[in-house]
Structure 1
């Protein structure tokens, strides 16, 4: 198949891109060679590697309102509402899979092809783990899924929490998760981080931890996590998610912290839509934004990606898996609408996420790499984010998984 007359993100001019048997085979300047009559005509639209969803909870999607809505909008009411759900509702693997597939279809419409999902392992029937591990295998040729053993209620603050984590890893989960700020005590939080790294080494797994997801400037588990990553030389396989407390750290401490973060090589995920919804709820005024220092991490050369987090669940009542909307929220909240930021902002939902998932080696539009790409109805980062340009074609391993006809408006004035 040939895509003719496309712009390739990061390159000047127009190109013709050929792929066959699931692999890019040739990329030439547009017009240099004759193209087949059935070539897909891009008409100057931008081709780029697919969007990456680095942080979602597929076991919880589309459960908003069951058994009741999160009326306060706080993170902690969301956790307690989910606890009611998982302990009072009959959990069925097929139902969890169908909800997750519905969410994945939404994400596919918006150009997502790589997904990392957390799955609650303190739901002791393990129906969620079973469902998402099955879905990971079933969807592998369409959307590549990584799973994270996520202890929603803590590791040490739950009876046999360590055994639950090990059971999940034995079932094939991809990453070790955690939630140190939600443990009963600071000591439990520190111990949970040490255990997370021990478990990751035992299973040769990646690490992705909900860390300091709270508006508390004294919640500083990130420094412990980064130190462990530095000591064990695991920074490139370690992600700290949310780190909302960093938005409340004083600048003197943050200056010291950034030295450690850079040395450790640790990576970050932020979920600006969900965090701005959940955090700052107990503030009067001024209200905190509840997000980490996205721009400061970006400017420091520390890898940070943006994710949706939730789709219509106890923590976030809306969301459709559209990462361009998440990006729009992130660049506004992070004061990243300057000229230079807007030229490269799509990195936050693409290559940066690929690095966090450790799939960057197979990611990119180059001859010999898997034919994974999207075509956007825009010509560059600035135009795409300004107009929230739709994805009109999404191809994974050479197979078209989504195609859309661009809308045409008729203005009568």
Structure 2
């Protein structure tokens, strides 16, 4: 009946133990544990939590693992990062890009990321990285889903006297899935507005999604997000449009922000914050107090606007660290966004799973539901809160019914020393799990 039966798992958002029947790479049935007949392969979940895979909505795969090449970003600023990347681009080759991205994808897949939106710099006359990523997208299709954003890193109208527009359109003709722009990096505000208009025109012409690097700067006067939202509203494209970064929003005065949020709710666009990178890139020109460099993450969520979280960079000219862990991204957002209330913290997990899936417009094939691809993770966690607190590894990663990665859980032993200085009889394993939310019995004081 089933090719694979995943038995005795807990499913995120449900109570109890379940069996999940998989056939032809899709979930065919979910039932109480022990009730599904089977004749194929049985994988015991041993009470682990089954959850949908992580979704990476914003990363630059073309630049991964290039930190220090040819020089390190010593100032740590966005602008030096762009300069270092412009020095690295002439050395790009198909083999170079494929080798680095293949390594990064393995890191990400091992930690449960199976859906990725990557920005690829198309301000390159040869479009070397784009063509390599297009090739790799097809190679990994069926295991990892990759969306490619044609991203004009050095501007549309500011690059080589406007040649950025020609290269951007060529990238779409070659097969890029999403149109990008970077209006705050253009020479003038007028160029910035024109670049947004060009982005939307191309999206309509080629039936593509839109993802704009928007106001990734500390300048409180950088207000291109209002232009992006207005164009989305005017063209009825809201759910197809994303504003990434929007770090300047953290510096807007509250009166303007109040007006802006009214527009954002009407426009119904998506937002992506990148906490690991923006808290290090932004605020570099501040003395004290220093700004966090993050958009109004909590306020966007509270306003009912879809907001999610991405890496942005892994070991490249903008950020020399990173392992590809989406849980690390979520936990950093929880801290710098001051989202430490129980519901606030748990929604940070949503921001790297279902909310990101909504941004990428892949909801029809995402989630642990009958009829959808059998792509899921098994983790040793009680719930989203526990997942975020302990950040346990994905012990099993399944993509379309096939196990593509496993991780052996670590084991810690503590050998307690008595007051007499003698070691106790053997070690005791340490378990960091703490059950929360259990009822507490409280006795009334006697009169």
TMscore range, shorter length: over 0.9
CA separation in 1, counterparts of 2:346 and 2:159? 46
CA separation in 2, counterparts of 1:381 and 1:393? 17
Deviates more, 1:26-35 or 1:366-375: 26-35
Shift of 1:164: 0.7
RCO comparison, higher one (Cα < 8 Å, 6+): 1
CA separation in 1, counterparts of 2:258 and 2:47? 44
Equivalent in 392, 410, 413 of residue 395 of structure 2: 392
Deviates more, 1:5-14 or 1:49-58: 5-14
Equivalent in 300, 305, 310 of residue 307 of structure 1: 310
Whether contact under 8 Å (1:56, 1:308) holds in the other structure is yes
Say whether residues 1:197 and 2:196 are aligned partners.
no
Shift of 1:41: 2.1
CA separation in 2, counterparts of 1:98 and 1:37? 36
Say whether residues 1:207 and 2:213 are aligned partners.
no
Which position in structure 1 is the counterpart of 2:298? 295
Shift of 1:33: 4.3
CA separation in 1, counterparts of 2:387 and 2:45? 15
CA separation in 2, counterparts of 1:33 and 1:109? 29
Shift of 1:10: 1.1
Shift of 1:364: 1.1
TM-score, normalising length: structure 1: 0.97
Which position in structure 2 is the counterpart of 1:75? 78
Whether contact under 8 Å (1:44, 1:379) holds in the other structure is no
Say whether residues 1:187 and 2:190 are aligned partners.
yes
CA separation in 1, counterparts of 2:233 and 2:307? 18
Residue 39 of structure 1 aligns to a residue whose secondary structure is strand
Shift of 1:15: 1.1
CA separation in 2, counterparts of 1:29 and 1:10? 14
TM-score, normalising length: structure 2: 0.90
Residue 63 of structure 2 aligns to a residue whose secondary structure is coil
CA separation in 2, counterparts of 1:276 and 1:266? 23
CA separation in 1, counterparts of 2:210 and 2:40? 48
CA separation in 2, counterparts of 1:129 and 1:35? 45
Q: Deviations over 1:260-292 (max 9, x none)?
A: 111111001111000011001110100000010
Q: Can you give the 5+ residue segments of structure 1 that lack an aligned partner in the other structure?
A: none
Say whether residues 1:280 and 2:283 are aligned partners.
yes
Shift of 1:175: 0.4
Which position in structure 2 is the counterpart of 1:260? 263
Residue 331 of structure 2 aligns to a residue whose secondary structure is helix
Query: What aligned pairs does 1:335-354 form with structure 2 within 5 A after superposition?
Result: 335-354=338-357
Which position in structure 2 is the counterpart of 1:124? 125
Which position in structure 1 is the counterpart of 2:426? none
Whether contact under 8 Å (2:180, 2:199) holds in the other structure is yes
Query: What aligned pairs does 1:14-413 form with structure 2 within 5 A after superposition?
Result: 14-33=17-36, 39-87=42-90, 89=91, 91-159=92-160, 160-413=163-416
Shift of 1:5: 1.6
CA separation in 1, counterparts of 2:45 and 2:345? 23
Shift of 1:345: 2.8
Q: Deviations over 1:83-103 (max 9, x none)?
A: 11113x2x2101101101111
Q: Can you give the 5+ residue segments of structure 2 that lack an aligned partner in the other structure?
A: 417-447
Whether contact under 8 Å (1:243, 1:270) holds in the other structure is yes
Whether contact under 8 Å (2:333, 2:348) holds in the other structure is no
Residue 164 of structure 1 aligns to a residue whose secondary structure is helix
Cα distance change on mapping 1:118 and 1:37 into 2, 3 Å: closer
Residue 330 of structure 1 aligns to a residue whose secondary structure is helix
CA separation in 1, counterparts of 2:248 and 2:393? 34
Whether contact under 8 Å (1:52, 1:113) holds in the other structure is yes
CA separation in 1, counterparts of 2:408 and 2:42? 16
Shift of 1:343: 3.5
Output the aligned Cα RMSD: 1.2
Deviates more, 1:336-345 or 1:262-271: 336-345
CA separation in 1, counterparts of 2:37 and 2:370? 18
Whether contact under 8 Å (1:4, 1:35) holds in the other structure is no
Whether contact under 8 Å (2:21, 2:36) holds in the other structure is no
CA separation in 2, counterparts of 1:305 and 1:33? 36
Shift of 1:34: 5.8
